[in-house]
Amino acid sequence: MGGLTVYEKLKKLLPNENYIYFGDLKNSPYGEKTKDQLIEYARNIFEFFMKKEVKAVVMACNTTSAIAYETLKTEFDIKIYPIVQSCANVLSLMEIERLGVFATPVTINSHIYAREIHKYNEDMQIFEIACPEWVKIVESGEEHYDSTIDVVKKYLDKMMENNPQKIVLGCTHYPYLRNVLVDVIGKDIFIDPSIIFSNYIKYDLQANNLLNPSKQIGEEEFYVSANPLDFKNAAEMFYELKEEPKLSDLIHI
């Protein structure tokens, strides 16, 4: 569901493209799944997209980008945009020495942000902290509860011991905690990768002559692996769906 944060920005940048969105509610959350599980989930979704004859796939999930991308890029002959790898080059160019990263346990344990950024900038220090509770907090709409603020403060206090100049919100759900984070720390030093990512995709599609030449507003289709009504209701905090998504029966997932 968090991928809708990327989709919302991409839709504004490229309104003439046709979009197919897949939300894997059956297997979410991804943040604590095994590597083999994540690769299998992502592979099934890619096969679904191939049947839809898409021209490119956006991996709007930090966790699957960290774990599944390297495998999938060898299996599918299609343009793929993984959020972490696509943003790393831009982040590496920032004029800072100390960068924090909040993300899910799987993403943090993979050290994908540090590894990818260091391909371009070996000198930048990366401080990574996993926040396993944050996805559930956002999806349940509990970001302003006193108990939530205590949880957020716990991780933020730990991160600030490293004195980061900027902090990446390395899960598509986490930007919805930005106001809470800013209130706790008293300043806004947070980076939403979906903004960087969406601009990167637009530039790359244009550079590869893959933009839709149509001047018409593009179509959009939403699919889920389970609970379409739950998805539509919960999605309202990210993006307003015009109708309930379709329950996919085209793949085994």
Residues annotated as part of the active site:
61, 171
Rg of the chain taking only CA atoms, in angstroms: 18
98-103 vs 125-130, strand pairing mode: parallel
Measured in degrees and rounded to the nearest 5, phi and psi for residue 67 equal -105, -40
Question: How many Å is the maximal CA-CA distance in the chain?
Answer: 51
Give CA separation, 30 vs 61, 80, 111, 239, in Å: 9, 19, 16, 20
Which 8-state DSSP code applies to residue 52? T
- Residue 242's Cβ-count burial label (10 Å; 0-12, 13-18, 19+) is exposed
Neighbours of 55 (CB within 10 A): 14
Dist CA 80 CA 58 (whole Å): 6
What is the per-residue DSSP string for 172-202?
Answer: TTGGGGHHHHHHHHSS--EE-HHHHHHHHHH
Cα 162 from chain centroid?
24
